[in-house]
């Protein structure tokens, strides 16, 4: 009931789903590299426009891929949500760092006046108190921030100092550029995880690592390890929940107690987990051995990967895009 989904795979029958996982893995990787190869906006308006046109082009391509997967956009945005903070943070940092010709976008003299600060604190308190009722919290918060900055430009009395807030025009361009770039790369990796079964991905990785066998490295064992890990992550997750509940019945409460008590409480979770994992591992090893598994021995491949026409087609398109970027980069 409390199962965590294995990866994020969403079942579907779209063209992207049906592609050979090897094609998907390599193509999406190439596209990601291509996105990273888009030149940074230069200081002149031509370079800037060129960079953003390329970025826009990629955005269109990636949007098309996303639409082809026939998976709802919400699923994609969800995977972005966890990284939203990182996005905004890089954006703001870029905005505040002087670079290029240091052309200023905004130059404000902010007064640290007691009245002004008090008003801002009042706003923040009000916001926290009322946030249950506020729709679109993030936007309201951003609005409030802008309003606070605007308010600070006036000296409302009892000022005890001032500082300059400088926003740079190049920072704005660079910020938006980096922002969009990370966004696109994450979208691409999400396409891969949403449309490919973890097992297929493992097979694809195993195939690409095949050359390592010439170095006497046994790739099939690694593939087996990955697939067993995939198999047992949900099981162990459920097990953790169970132990956590069992220990809670014995009064474990991770939020209180001295440091020493907290350590013993964490140990009360870790040791049972270790014991269970070892037991599972031993049982599993027995079961695998009894069914004739010999590490490294040749086995039949049940999941065969087929490189079809659509694979060839999409791979060629990817190569063309990749080559274009390389050529532009070189020129």
Q: Does 289 bind other proteins (CB under 8 A)?
A: yes
- Span of 47-55, 162-170, 285-293, 314-322 interacting with other proteins by CB under 8 A: 285-293
Q: Does 253 bind other proteins (CB under 8 A)?
A: yes
Indicate which single residue of 108, 166, 272, 321 sits in contact with other proteins (rule: CB under 8 A): 272
Query: Which CB, 159 or 268, lies closer to other proteins?
Result: 268
CB 1 → other proteins: shortest distance, Å? 5
CA distance 236 to 109: 56
Question: Which residues from 121-140 bind other proteins, rule CB under 8 A?
Answer: 132-133
Q: Does 6 bind other proteins (CB under 8 A)?
A: yes
Indicate which single residue of 297, 309, 327, 330 sits in contact with other proteins (rule: CB under 8 A): 297
H-only helix segments in the chain: 15-18, 21-37, 45-68, 73-81, 84-96, 114-130, 137-152, 169-195, 198-208, 219-249, 259-290, 309-330
Q: If binding means CB under 8 A, how many residues of this protein chain bind other proteins?
A: 60
Binding mask 212-251 for other proteins (x = CB under 8 A): ---------------xx-xx--xx--x--xxxxxxxxxxx
Contacts of 73 (CB under 8 A, 6+ apart): 66
Q: Does 81 bind other proteins (CB under 8 A)?
A: no
The closest alpha carbon to 198, from 170, 174, 218, 227, belongs to: 227
- Residues 41, 46, 50, 52, CA torsion sign: positive
CA distance 259 to 240: 22
CB 260 → other proteins: shortest distance, Å? 11
CA distance 115 to 107: 22
Query: Which CB, 8 or 159, lies closer to other proteins?
Result: 8
Two tokens, residue 232? 């047992």
Q: Read off the DSSP letter of residue 106.
A: E
Contact 141, 128 (CB under 8 A): no
Query: Which CB, 138 or 327, lies closer to other proteins?
Result: 138
Q: Does 260 bind other proteins (CB under 8 A)?
A: no
The closest alpha carbon to 193, from 15, 3, 28, belongs to: 28
Q: Does 265 bind other proteins (CB under 8 A)?
A: yes
Query: Which CB, 9 or 68, lies closer to other proteins?
Result: 9
Indicate which single residue of 259, 290, 327, 331 sits in contact with other proteins (rule: CB under 8 A): 290
The closest alpha carbon to 116, from 85, 84, 158, belongs to: 158
Ramachandran angles phi, psi of 159, nearest 5°: -70, 140
Indicate which single residue of 199, 203, 314, 318 sits in contact with other proteins (rule: CB under 8 A): 199
Q: Read off the DSSP letter of residue 61.
A: H
CB 252 → other proteins: shortest distance, Å? 6
CB 293 → other proteins: shortest distance, Å? 5
- Span of 98-106, 207-215, 256-264, 310-318 interacting with other proteins by CB under 8 A: 256-264
Environment class of 86 (CB within 10 Å of its CB; exposed 0-12, middle 13-18, buried 19+): exposed
Binding site for other proteins (CB under 8 A): 1-3, 6, 132-133, 198-199, 227-228, 230-231, 234-235, 238, 241-253, 255, 257, 261, 264-265, 267-268, 270-272, 275-276, 279-280, 283-284, 286-294, 297-302, 304
């Amino acid at each position: 009931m409390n199962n965590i989904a294995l990866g994020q795979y969403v079942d579907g029958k779209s063209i992207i789903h049906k592609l050979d996982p090897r094609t998907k893995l390599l193509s999406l990787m190439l596209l990601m590299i291509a996105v990273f190869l888009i030149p940074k906006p230069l200081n002149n308006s031509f370079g800037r426009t060129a960079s953003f046109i390329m970025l826009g082009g990629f955005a269109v391509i990636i949007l098309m891929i996303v639409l082809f997967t026939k998976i709802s956009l919400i699923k994609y945005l969800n995977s972005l949500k966890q990284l939203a903070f990182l996005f905004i943070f890089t954006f703001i940092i870029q905005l505040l760092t002087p670079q290029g010709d240091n052309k200023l976008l905004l130059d404000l003299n902010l007064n640290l006046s007691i009245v002004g600060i008090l008003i801002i604190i009042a706003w923040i308190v009000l916001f926290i108190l009322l946030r249950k009722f506020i729709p679109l919290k993030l936007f309201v918060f951003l609005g409030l921030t802008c309003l606070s900055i605007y308010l600070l430009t006036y000296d409302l009395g009892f000022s005890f100092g001032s500082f300059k807030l400088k926003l740079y025009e190049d920072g704005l361009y660079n910020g938006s550029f980096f922002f969009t770039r990370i966004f696109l790369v994450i979208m691409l990796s999400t396409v891969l995880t949403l449309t490919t079964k973890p097992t297929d991905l493992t097979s694809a990785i195993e195939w690409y690592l095949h050359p390592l066998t010439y170095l006497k490295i046994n790739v099939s064992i690694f593939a087996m390890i990955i697939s067993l890990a995939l198999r047992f992550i949900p099981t162990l997750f459920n097990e953790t929940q169970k132990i956590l509940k069992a220990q809670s019945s014995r009064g474990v409460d991770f939020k209180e107690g001295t440091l020493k008590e907290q350590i013993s409480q964490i140990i009360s979770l870790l040791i049972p987990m270790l014991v269970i994992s070892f037991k599972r591992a031993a049982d599993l090893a027995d079961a695998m051995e009894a069914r004739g598994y010999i590490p490294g021995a040749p086995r039949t491949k049940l999941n065969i990967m087929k490189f079809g026409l659509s694979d060839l087609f999409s791979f060629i398109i990817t190569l063309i895009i990749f080559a274009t970027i390389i050529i532009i980069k070189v020129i």
